[in-house]
């Protein structure tokens, strides 16, 4: 089972990714983790990525895709995987399509099964954040850096500009499964399960 998890900051992707990994027994591939591992292991692509990062530049789509391709060829991904943080742009989505098509040509028969979009109300997320900050301050504690409202709004905008275009892209492919991300954690997990159980192999 190959799954992509989409959703803006604050949608609960981390919580639901952990649920999917546990229930379906597939590894979660987080782009940041893969990148750090490739650099630490000094793989050929990891060395390229380190050179770019040492210059203070952003790692290109080509390098990110190469690192993902290297990772999905690992033995623990043979039965599928959950992609979190990749693809982040339309260019990366097209690269992933090419990777999986290449696998198909090599008779690996690996297809993208579903793209789960945790759909949330951005205004309500901001309200929740404000409430959380007020409650934290009332307890005499320091709010988390992640709870800075302007930073959060900026991250939401980046998601809307760069990643949200993936939604119609995967909808056209018939892969998109929309889940209401505003409910209780267990309810969201149950809705995800209802969408994914048909793909269990």
Q: What is the pLDDT of residues 64-118, one digit of tens each?
A: 888 888 888 888 998 899 999 899 999 999 999 988 877 554 556 678 999 999 9
Domain that holds residue 172: 2-121+164-199
pLDDT at 105: 46
- Looking at residues 158-176, what average pLDDT do you find? 95
Compute how many other C-beta atoms are within 10 angstroms of the C-beta atom of residue 43.
16
Coil/strand/helix, residue 145:
helix
Within-domain flag for 42 = yes
Within-domain flag for 137 = no
What's the burial of 41, exposed, middle or buried (CB within 10 Å: 0-12/13-18/19+)?
exposed
HSE of 78, CA atoms in CB hemisphere, 13 A:
3
Within-domain flag for 150 = no
Structure tokens at 179: 């889940």
Within-domain flag for 154 = no
Structural domain count, the chain: 1
Within-domain flag for 142 = no
For residues 29 and 41, what is the distance between their CA atoms, to the nearest angstrom? 16
End-to-end CA distance of the chain: 7
Active site residues: 13, 88, 132, 144, 155
Across all residues in the chain, what is the average pLDDT? Answer: 88
Within-domain flag for 66 = yes
Proportion of the chain above pLDDT 70, given as a percent: 96
Domain with residue 29: its CATH number is 3.40.50.300
Within-domain flag for 130 = no
Within-domain flag for 179 = yes
Chain-centroid distance of CA 174 in Å reads: 19
| Residue range 124-139, pLDDT digits in tens | 989 988 988 898 889 9
HSE of 149, CA atoms in CB hemisphere, 13 A:
12
């Amino acid at each position: 089972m190959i799954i992509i998890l989409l959703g803006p900051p604050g949608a609960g992707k981390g919580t639901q990714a952990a649920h999917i990994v546990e229930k379906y027994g597939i590894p979660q591939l987080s782009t940041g983790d893969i990148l750090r591992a490739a650099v630490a292991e000094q793989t050929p692509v990891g060395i390229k990525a380190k050179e770019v990062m040492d210059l203070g530049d952003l790692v290109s789509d080509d390098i990110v895709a190469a690192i993902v391709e290297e990772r999905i060829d690992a033995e623990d991904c043979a039965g599928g995987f959950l992609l979190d943080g990749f693809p982040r742009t339309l260019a990366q989505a097209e690269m992933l399509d090419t990777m999986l098509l290449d696998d198909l040509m090599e008779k690996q028969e690996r297809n993208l099964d579903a793209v789960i979009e945790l759909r949330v109300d951005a205004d309500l997320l901001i309200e929740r954040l404000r409430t959380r900050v007020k409650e934290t301050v009332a307890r005499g504690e320091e709010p988390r850096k992640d709870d800075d409202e302007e930073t959060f709004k900026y991250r939401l905008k980046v998601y809307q500009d760069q990643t949200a275009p993936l939604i119609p892209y995967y909808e056209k492919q018939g892969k998109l499964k929309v889940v209401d991300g505003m409910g209780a954690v267990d309810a969201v997990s149950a809705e995800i399960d209802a969408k994914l159980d048909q793909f269990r192999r």
